[in-house]
A = this chain, B = another copy of it.
Amino acid sequence: MRIPRHIGLIPDGNRRWAQDNGLNKQDGYYYGLNPGLAALKLAQEYGIDEITYYGFTTDNCKRPKVQIESFVKACVDAINIIAKENVSLLVIGNTKSSVFPKELLKYTTRTNIGNGGTKVNFLVNYGWDWDISKINVNSSDRRTIMDCLHSRDISRIDLILRWGGRKRLSGFLPVQSVYSDIYTIDDMWPDFTPEQFHKAMKWYNAQDVTLGG
């Protein structure tokens, strides 16, 4: 079976799930924590090298304050859970803003946890515009372009899994995702099941990867 080397996860649908379950919108993010760990464990079982989670973006900070506080806390909690595993952890995002959680600053250079292992990247206060704002190359040298990105330590993504039914990237690593295969799960992120992940892997195995050729 052809396994993606690097997968991106867009864990969307937390607010809709909360409403569907009689909760306030901001209460949904908490129920996304267990799925985050479950996804990491599955990725490790498959032998996936690298996994990038879409935490929150500068655009998400247009949401009401009570939601911002909730998803920021959920990101911190999720990363603390992941930081108990054997991973190589990296947090990427605009640290200059007050919304960036200071307790995550220590992970903004790649850090081996335990024995190290799977590369886990988490986007926290990320912005596609912030990411690509300093590219100045004389030719279409892709390696040099990658080196100009704020997200330069995150490699090209083979497969993106998006929960919550939307079929869009929402600004997720536009350079690393140029040739990513995009698989959408209609269920909301807190309704994560291993079966969704297995189906995504089977689907990816059936895709051809031509990179334009």
Contacts and interface: CB of A to CB of B under 8 A. Distances in A.
A145 interface: yes
A191 B207 CA distance: 20
B179 A167 contact: no
Contacts of A41: none
A132 interface: yes
Contacts of A140: 58, 94, 127, 129-130, 133
B133 A213 contact: no
Contact of A171 (B60, B139, B178): B178
A134 interface: yes
A1 B175 CA distance: 33
Judged by DSSP, the binding face of A is loop
A206 to B, nearest CB: 10
Contact of A167 (B62, B139, B182, B213): B182
A63 B213 contact: yes
Contacts of A121: none
B62 A212 contact: yes
A197 to B, nearest CB: 17
A167 B181 contact: yes
Interface in A135-192: 135-142, 145, 166-171, 174-175, 177-184
